[in-house]
Amino acid sequence: MKTYLDCLPCFMQQALRAGRMATNDEKKLKEILSSVGAMIKDIPMQNTPPETGDAIYKKVREITGVNDPYKEIKKQNIAEAIALYPEMKKIIDSSDDKILTAIRFAIAGNVIDFGVNKEFDIEQEVKNNLEKDFAIFDYDKFLEELEKANTVLYIGDNAGESVFDKILIEELGKQVTFVVRDIPVINDATIDDAIASGLDSVSEIISSGCTAPGTILNLCNDDFLKRFNNADMVISKGQGNYEGLSNVSRSVFFLLKVKCPIIANDINVKENDIVLKGINIK
């Protein structure tokens, strides 16, 4: 997805939000906003938003000196999600379509997102998502590709959401590689968060090599790119990965809850919609 004009003021809001997680120092926060403001003129509109996010969150780290301001929140979100895990497993076990129910949970987990300025109640979200209609629902194609697949590359998004991803990975019954960010950026899952979420017991965990809050192929490492190109199936979670991967040439299934009006417009759905969208499906 390209950068839209509305993304530019939003970059400033994101920088302020991330800065405030790291410091109360008003001078440093002003400095962050001044730096990001000065960046605007050099942002290529054809770039994907997470490419700019990469530079912005780097600037926030530099100015505040804090590398992982969401560390404690990520721990809490993972713990909350783990507490919900047994109940979700029960619901899946008694459901008619286990994979679909697991997909619903995986999308519910995508509400845990501090990149957007929305409050959330994860327990309520899980309940709501069991009933909610999908705005885009490429489920038949998903099942078809899944059936033929031996290897699945599953690109994670946020910490806490990662526990919900584990639930879906367990139902996929395939050889899964779970992909995380290379370093802490917002509340996105890193290798440590993925392990704390129990993903090491159901998948191989790798870093994409990307430090942006989304997957941008030309910023990823060779190992990831090889696996991305060769995986039988790719599942991408969340907005940041959608923004980075919506124009790639291979097949990808995007699972997300839409929390931003600009992304909603890009996908042609509404804010708060849930989406299971396949691209380049044969």
Site residues for its own copies per CB under 8 A: 5-6, 8-10, 12-13, 16, 26, 29-30, 33-41, 45
Q: Which residue lies nearer to its own copies by CB, 45 or 130?
A: 45
Residue 25 Cβ vs its own copies, minimum distance, rounded to whole Å: 11
| Nearest CA among 186, 180, 219 for reference residue 77 | 186
Residue 110 Cβ vs its own copies, minimum distance, rounded to whole Å: 24
Q: Which residue lies nearer to its own copies by CB, 39 or 82?
A: 39
| Nearest CA among 154, 192, 158 for reference residue 173 | 154
Q: Which residue is associated with the tokens 């309940």?
A: 127
Residue 18 C-beta-side C-alpha neighbours within 13 Å = 34
Residue 265 Cβ vs its own copies, minimum distance, rounded to whole Å: 15
| CA distance linking residue 62 with residue 25, whole number of Å | 14
Alpha helical stretches, state H, 130-175 = 139-148, 161-172
Q: Which residue lies nearer to its own copies by CB, 38 or 281?
A: 38
Q: Which residue lies nearer to its own copies by CB, 41 or 282?
A: 41
Residue 97 Cβ vs its own copies, minimum distance, rounded to whole Å: 40
Q: Which residue lies nearer to its own copies by CB, 29 or 107?
A: 29
DSSP letter at 135?
Answer: E
Q: Which residue lies nearer to its own copies by CB, 38 or 143?
A: 38
What secondary structure does DSSP assign to 6-73, as a single string?
THHHHHHHHHHHHHHHH---HHHHHHHHHHHHHHGGG--TTS-HHHHHHHHHHHHHHHH--S-TTHHH
Q: Which residue lies nearer to its own copies by CB, 257 or 259?
A: 259
Residue 55 Cβ vs its own copies, minimum distance, rounded to whole Å: 13
272 CB-near residues (< 8 Å, 6+ apart)? 257, 258, 259
Residue 18 Cβ vs its own copies, minimum distance, rounded to whole Å: 12
Total residues found in the chain within this entry: 282
Q: Which residue is associated with the tokens 């996105």?
A: 188
Residue 78 Cβ vs its own copies, minimum distance, rounded to whole Å: 30
Q: Which residue lies nearer to its own copies by CB, 13 or 76?
A: 13
Residue 42 Cβ vs its own copies, minimum distance, rounded to whole Å: 8
User: Is residue 175 helix, strand or coil?
Assistant: strand
| CA distance linking residue 186 with residue 176, whole number of Å | 25
Burial grade of 234 (CB within 10 A; 0-12, 13-18, 19 or more): buried
